[in-house]
Structure 1
Amino acid sequence: MVRYKLLTGESRFRIHLIAQGLAVGAVAGFAAVCYRLLLGMAEDFSLAALTGGLPLPFPVTVLLWCGVAVAIGRLMEWEPMARGSGIPQVEGELLGQVSMSWWKVLAAKFLGGGLAIALGLSLGREGPSVQIGAAAGKGMAVLQKRGKVEERLFLSSGASAGLSAAFNAPLAGVIFALEEVHKSFSPLVLLSAMMASLAADFVSKHFFGLGPVFSFGVPSVLPLNLYGHLLLLGLLCGAGGALFSRVILDVQTLYGRLPFPARYRVVIPALAALCIGPFLPDILGGGHALVEHLGMGGKTLSLIFLLFAGKLLFTALCFGSGAAGGIFLPMLAVGASLGALYGTAAALFTGMDQAFVVNFLIVGMAGFFAAVVRAPITGIILITEMTGSFTHLLSVSAVVILAHVTADLLRARPIYDSLLLRMLRKSDGAVSAGKILLEGTVCPGSPLDGRMVREASLPEGCLLVSIHRSGEEILPNGDTLLSAGDRIIALADGSRARRIREKLLDLSGVCVPEKHLWE
């Protein structure tokens, strides 16, 4: 029987995790930095070309754009796992549901992502950066002939490093890996992901400097007498996030009903970019420029609403085509537009100081992210790191919680869970066989709290192999009593890992309404 090092608790293994995390972070971070530099050049090209800087007759430009779009489609046929964001693929790999060819993903993501942004498509670099980091981590594990358990640690560490390098946000990279990718706060994953994220941030800062991603400065502290506005903005972000998720999924469904092969779908957003670019260039690309332009102020309500609606619809049109690119940064740009819209309206109709509009823009990004992704802690930390200021931490947290609850009441599904389910139904990736390890923590009052293992009603295909309590490891048997605070590790059938994980989270006291996520 194979003995997994993860279950030994030896200090030498923790030291090994630190070294492993630093190595993966350096490699994955460098890969993500290269991708970020490539997309920056591609976005500069598309902005110049679509605003009249390309010295070609318009019919020739149309043919060029269509040809590149078809090339992207064929590239996605060559490696289907490179389609879209990449975050669902990473989650699926960690659950044993799919298996990425790491080198094909890297090649297709770099080439396909760069071409998509060069066409002006509204797609982000952050989801692809997560997948690129994960693929780089998996490649290191494969080349070193590591086992499946360590391979998944390499992969999750690379994913954390990818987000860290994409946003100059090391803490957000760690929390994202735990809260969204793993959906559990595993100490072992935390240690490895933290080292990888810090190493990637160190590499990233050598290329992009020490400053935060957004450079509109530290806003004034929002006075407490304006916190009533945050209640309304939180509700708007929750409803707006639910709408964004619904539109993304519906447009993806509409693409699936088109009567021509999938390789030609990217032609639709490519032609739309040619038509939109000269008149509304702010909605092209990922959305970084849009957020900074809104942060400068001076926009009318009608223009901000046009940017909000245009960015939302154009992002759905681009993402639904299956091109290599994510919705992470475009989603933040839509949230910033909604926050700026509300702040501008409040300044216009209530006499609020116009200087506070940027505060509403910032909290709008965080609230919208929480409503769409349903990862509130990541949203709070990410926006704090991206803006380089803790002055708005309380206001950001308030809006994030309200938006998260509102989206839940509207029965909106977490977007990456929905996309993962769709991907699995289409069976684009090869199903991975074997067993995987799942972790959870027993919460007070949960169905596992105070129960013996034999009474725990664990899901079929799941074996409880270790319990960590107060720094000690317990090898369980049927009479072992579970108690609040126990960290449990289970061995699961890879083909059913997704269902088993959701059941374990439910049993341990983490509320995950399966009918909302997987219906």
Structure 2
Amino acid sequence: MLKQQIARPRVDSVRFRLIFQGFLVGIVTGIVVSLFRLCIEKLLGLVQISYIHGHVKTFCLMLVVNLVLTIFVGWLIKSEPHIAGSGIPEVEGQLQGKFTFHWWPILWKKFIAGVLSIGSGLFLGREGPSIQLGAAVGQGIASSFKQHGSKNRALIAAGATGGLAAAFNAPIAGTMFVLEEIYHNFSPLIWLTSLSSAIGANFVSLKIFGEVPILHMVYNHPLPVNLYGHLLLLGSILGLLGFVYQRVLLMMPKLYQLTKLPRAFQGVIPFVLVIGIGFWQPKLLGGGNNLVLALGEHHFVLTSLLIILVVRFLFSMISYGSGLPGGIFLPILSLGAVIGAIYAGIMIRLGWLPRIYLTNLIIFSMAGYFAGISKAPFTAILLVTEMVGNLTNLMAMAILTLVAYLVVDWLGGAPIYESLLQRMIVPQRISQPQHFEQIEVPVFEGSVQDGQQVRAIYWPSEALLISIHRGSQTILPHGDTMIYAGDTLLLLVDASHMAQVRRQVAELLKPPT
């Protein structure tokens, strides 16, 4: 009798369908991004060989080729302005309802322009374009399944996750990055769909590129606790330099305006300057993953490291500031690695650090520098761990990452992609037909609204609370319904106010500071 009274749990068919569709998005994204990686690697290798065996005729040829690339890539950007830069702010804006894109032009134009820009040796990363390519794939598959609203956004987020997973063979970090930095919401529907996409994309990537981590570095000596003081000092340095990176990067568009060149064709500056770097040090070209590996395998003279730091910092700014398609993940990681190598080199020379911990600080610095600039510490730790392929000393990495994050926060630094997005948004809202979307907002532990009735909360006028998800239950709310930490609120909002409402509700529900 008791068994008959126990209700059998209802299977959530919507969730299972989205997980399956997310996996499909991941497989297709894995194929697209893996092809993107292969094209960049082949082109970059060809360019480096040309510089190594180059002479005066090679210089003239590269100048002509790069000027032609400037015109062609500029034409692509002019025809579709949203393929410029990394593409991550565009994806973030798309998920917040601020942008609406046609996925096919974004997909093929970003692919071609990204390969030509990154493969030519500019200090740009492949991860941002890979995320945007994945988001375009997710949007395309969502449209084929006739998905709209929250389900459409779930598949776009899944595509973005798969893009990062395939770019770096980092499925867990890819999922965390989308949740922490792009979607800003740990909705179960989003993270399950994103994780299934990351698994599918990473499976394809591993089959094509093999199972060796991209930045595989061996360090078998955990940093002892009595040396943790270095983490505080180095973390502070990384935080300070990370804040400088943010400020300079955000200044670059204004500096480029002084050239009076059309925005779409400002790439002529890095395309010409890269020729000099190519003849000087062809192995420095590209996003920087080869440099990171070299730092772990060879001992560099301190003077050389300082020169590399200055050159990579300046030309990373010039490359990304021009608006050419390319990301900043790898350039940030490589700069962090160089900073860590410089710090360790100085401490080793002073006798304050044993040489066996050099690699430790290089690896930790990548995570710390990235965490400070992106304000995404969990992603930073997971990303570097997956890319290096070593779980040793996570505690030390977490401490340094937290210190760098706090220093940037104390200095007033904001997440770099959020800052870039804010600069893209047109102040005047363009008039568009009214339609409604559903958004999910979590209630965190410690929220001031924990234990409050629905009627006691001052909800935004542009939103309507339509349901509350509590574990596996779905509750239809009324005025007396209590809200508790751990709930996920489903609101119906005017699409044109979606980002604003999400911020207002998150402010209502956030824990007191």
| TM above 0.5 | yes
What is the CA-CA distance between 1:257 and the residue it aligns to? 4.0
How far did 1:240 drift? 1.3
Aligned residues: 505
Cα deviation 1:92-142 (Å, max 9, x = unaligned): 111111112211111111110111123321110001111111101111112
1:96–1:432 contact (8 Å) kept in structure 2:
no
Structure 2 Cα separation of the partners of residues 342 and 471 of structure 1: 50
Partner of residue 151, structure 1: 152
- Tell whether the 8 Å contact from 1:438 to 1:490 is kept in structure 2 after alignment: yes
Q: Which segments of structure 1 move beyond 4 Å, counting only runs of 4 or more?
A: 426-433
Aligned pairs (5 A) from 1:321-340: 321-340=322-341
Residues 440 and 488, structure 2, Cα contact 8 Å, conserved in 1: yes
Q: 1:432 to 1:238 in 2, by over 3 A?
A: farther
**What is the one-letter code of the residue matched to 2:22?**
G
Q: Could you say if the C-alpha distance between residues 465 and 226 of structure 1 is closer, same or farther in structure 2, counting changes exceeding 3 Å? A: same
Does the 8 A contact of 2:31 with 2:204 survive in 1? Answer: yes
Check 1:407–1:433 CA distance in 2 against 1; reply closer, same or farther (3 A cut): farther
Verify the 8 A CA contact 2:170 2:387 in the aligned structure 1.
yes
- What residue in structure 1 maps to residue 77 of structure 2? 76
Partner letter of residue 510 of structure 2?
G
Residues 207-234 of structure 1: per-residue CA shift (max 9 Å, x gap): 1111111133244211222111001111
What is the root-mean-square deviation in Å for CA atoms of aligned residues?
Answer: 2.2
Q: 1-side partners of 2:511 and 2:49: how far apart?
A: 49
Question: 1:120-171 deviations in whole A, cap 9, x for unaligned?
Answer: 2111000111111110111111223222332211111111111111111111
- How many Å apart are 1:10 and its aligned residue? 4.6
Where does residue 13 of structure 2 map in the other structure? Answer: 12
* Alpha-carbon distance in structure 2 between the residues aligned to 1:429 and 1:311: 39
Structure 2 equivalent of residue 422 of structure 1:
423
* Structure 2, unaligned runs of 5 or more: 1-8
Query: TM-score, normalized by length of structure 1?
Result: 0.92
Identify if the C-alpha distance between structure 1 residues 137 and 306 changes in structure 2 by more than 3 Å, giving closer, same or farther: same
In structure 1, C-alpha distance between the alignment counterparts of 2:149 and 2:431, rounded to whole Å:
16
Preserved contact between residue 118 and residue 126 of structure 2 (Cα < 8 Å): no
Percent identical across equivalent pairs? 38
Shift of 1:460: 3.4
Matched ranges for 1:23-38 at <5 A: 23-38=24-39
Instruction: Indicate the residue corresponding to 1:280 in structure 2.
Output: 281
- Say if 1:491 and 1:278 are closer, same or farther in 2 by CA, change over 3 A: same
Of residues 445-454 and 46-55 in structure 1, the stretch that sits farther from structure 2 once superposed is: 46-55
Cα separation, partners in 2 of 1:9 and 1:371, compared to 1, 3 Å: farther
Give the 5 Å matches for 1:282-321: 282-321=283-322
Asked whether the equivalents of residues 239 and 369 of structure 2 are also in contact (C-alpha less than 8 Å), the reply is: yes
How many Å separate the matches in 2 of 1:330 and 1:383? 13
2:214 aligned residue:
213
For 1:441 and 1:120, locate their aligned partners in 2 and report how far apart those are by CA, in whole Å. 43
Q: CA deviation at 1:46?
A: 2.5
Task: Evaluate the alpha carbon distance shift between residue 25 and residue 455 of structure 1 in structure 2; reply closer, same or farther with a 3 A threshold.
Answer: same
Residue of structure 2 equivalent to 1:201: 202
Residue 122 of structure 2 contacts residue 286 of structure 2 at CA under 8 Å; is this kept in 1? yes
Does residue 240 of structure 2 align to residue 236 of structure 1?
Answer: no
Please state how far the C-alpha of 1:374 moved relative to its aligned partner.
Answer: 0.8
Tell whether the 8 Å contact from 1:282 to 1:307 is kept in structure 2 after alignment.
no
The one-character-per-residue Cα deviations of 1:362-382 (angstroms, maximum 9, x if unpaired) are 010000111011111111111
1:260-290 deviation digits (Å, cap 9, x = unpaired): 2123200001111012222233442111111
Instruction: Check 1:428–1:238 CA distance in 2 against 1; reply closer, same or farther (3 A cut).
Output: farther
- Give CA deviations for 1:39-90 in whole Å, capped at 9, x if unaligned: 1112212222334447835334323212211211111111111111011111
**Residues 492 and 10 from structure 1, CA distance in 2 versus in 1: closer, same or farther, beyond 3 angstroms?**
farther
| Counterpart position of 2:407 | 406
| Cα separation, 2, equivalents of 1:432 and 1:342 | 56
Q: What displacement does 1:426 show?
A: 8.0
Change (3 A) 1:240 1:433: farther
Task: Check conservation: 2:465, 2:490, Cα contact below 8 A.
Answer: yes
Query: What is the alpha-carbon distance in structure 2 between the residues aligned to residue 458 and residue 142 of structure 1?
Result: 32
Deviates more, 1:479-488 or 1:265-274: 479-488
Partner of 1:61: 62
State whether residues 465 and 491 of structure 1, in contact with CA within 8 Å, keep that contact through their aligned partners in structure 2: yes
Counterpart CA distance in 2 for 1:55 and 1:308 is: 28
* Residue number in structure 1 paired with 2:161: 160
Query: What amino acid maps onto 2:467 in structure 1?
Result: S
Question: Normalised by the size of structure 2, how large is the TM-score?
Answer: 0.93
1:45 aligns with 2:85: no
Structure 1's 460 and 217: CA in aligned 2 closer, same or farther, altered over 3 A? same
Deviates more, 1:121-130 or 1:148-157: 148-157
Write the letter of the residue equivalent to 1:173. G
The equivalent of 2:127 in structure 1 is 126
Letter in 2 for 1:464: L
Specify whether residues 480 and 252 from structure 1 end up closer, same or farther in structure 2 by C-alpha distance, changes over 3 A only. same
User: Aligned equivalents of 2:95 and 2:434: distance in 1?
Assistant: 12
